[in-house]
Amino acid sequence: MTSPTARSSCSTIRRARPRAWARRWLPSARRSPDTPTRFRARLAAAFLALAPFHAAAHTLKLATWNLDWLTDRPPGDPAIPPDVIRRSPADYRRLASYAARLDADIVALQEVDSPEAARRIFPPDRYRIILTDDPVPQRVGLAIRTSLAVEINPELRALDVSDPAAPHHLRGGLDVTLHDGATTLRLLVVHLKTGCWDNPPGDRGHSCPILRRQIAVLDDWILQRQDEGVPFALLGDFNRRLTVNDPFWREMTAEAPLDLVTSGYATPCWGGSYFIDHLLLGNAARAWRIPDSLRVMIYRDASSEDRAHLSDHCPVSIRLALPDTAKK
């Protein structure tokens, strides 16, 4: 379902300031546009114990990409902060070239204002754009290959835990079901409240209580999928440096085991940082993850001045091996 990965140069990665939960950096790869992760032996062993990978299965590439205030609204629009830079036609062409290199089957999008803006990056002859109906300029959505069948479920509006009278609302979640032959995959795209990066659960600051309420909403959604037994994935910008030891992660996995594919690693994006863009797998989808398939696509030949014209986030992706029964 995916074509061979394109190649480009990657930057040298340095180890970050030590933290108890940060195990290692993603290693660099000189000619790959997606910087590969070499999973620790115990994680690979755990995956293999869960289910073996069958080479005959066909693959699906999932990615998440925060496009950082992608909007075509004119300067002075009251919904857009005054310091947001509008993309030029050249910026859109560069983003489109990176999207072509990414070559994902499904891309979870964040901070996209309109389908028209997204289509300037993901051509309509190859991708279908689906966005939420949220009354905010930073919407979440999907770019999904036109060859794939997808069912749109009711949006997860409960993620907007703000007061109805609040001047600014939070983003809901896009909920869809992918149908691939006899196989289905439920997908939820999210962009959670910013500001509670790794604070303790009892933090009374403005962001953490809001994020706690959003995590509770996700927990309910996860438990529903667990009861249904359907394979599922959560993708997006969690605005949280999730690890397997994080209290919020423990809350989400208390009754439903999940795979946090970014666990133990930091991203090389723009010189290195900790992951806040995550991909989570549940139920049978955990067994579909291809080992050593986590990638971060960096912006080749881009300088720090290009950051505002491209995005402050890099695409993060994995590959899934859908079962052979999908084509029977």
List pLDDT tens digits, range 243-252: 999 999 999 9
- Asked if residue 328 is part of any domain, the answer here is no
215-225: average pLDDT: 97
- pTM for the whole structure: 0.83
- Asked if residue 276 is part of any domain, the answer here is yes
| CB neighbour class for 56 (10 Å; exposed up to 12, middle 13-18, buried from 19) | exposed
Question: So what's the pLDDT on residue 168?
Answer: 80
d(CA 230, CA 82): 44
d(CA 320, CA 328): 18
d(CA 239, CA 84): 19
Average pLDDT of the residues of the chain: 84
**What whole-number percentage of the chain has pLDDT above 90?**
73
Structure token pair of residue 196: 């509670």
- Asked if residue 10 is part of any domain, the answer here is no
**Distant-in-sequence, close-in-space partners of 187: CB < 8 Å, separation ≥ 6:** 106, 108, 142, 174, 175, 176, 177, 178, 232, 233, 234, 235
Which of the four pLDDT bands, split at 50, 70 and 90, describes residue 325?
low
**Listed range (10-24, 44-58, 104-118) with the worst mean pLDDT:** 10-24
Which of the four pLDDT bands, split at 50, 70 and 90, describes residue 72?
very high
- Asked if residue 11 is part of any domain, the answer here is no
Q: In degrees rounded to 5, what are phi and psi of residue 272?
A: 115, 135
d(CA 37, CA 175): 28
- Asked if residue 2 is part of any domain, the answer here is no
Total count of domains within the chain: 1
**Cα dist from 127 to 33, 109, 155, whole Å:** 21, 13, 21
233-253: average pLDDT: 96
Is there a contact between 106 and 144 (Cβ–Cβ < 8 Å)?
Answer: yes
3-state secondary structure of 65: strand
196-224: average pLDDT: 93
- Asked if residue 7 is part of any domain, the answer here is no
- Asked if residue 3 is part of any domain, the answer here is no
Residue 50 has pLDDT above 80, yes or no: no
* 58 vs 219, higher pLDDT: 219
- Asked if residue 45 is part of any domain, the answer here is yes
Which DSSP category does 98 fall into?
A: H
Tell me the residue range of the domain where 210 lies.
36-323
Starting at the edge strand that comes first in sequence, how are the strands of the sheet with 232-237 ordered?
A: 149-152, 174-180, 183-191, 232-237, 277-282, 258-260
CATH number for the domain harbouring residue 287 = 3.60.10.10
Which of the four pLDDT bands, split at 50, 70 and 90, describes residue 157?
very high
Is there a contact between 146 and 106 (Cβ–Cβ < 8 Å)?
Answer: no
Residue with tokens 């990176």: 98
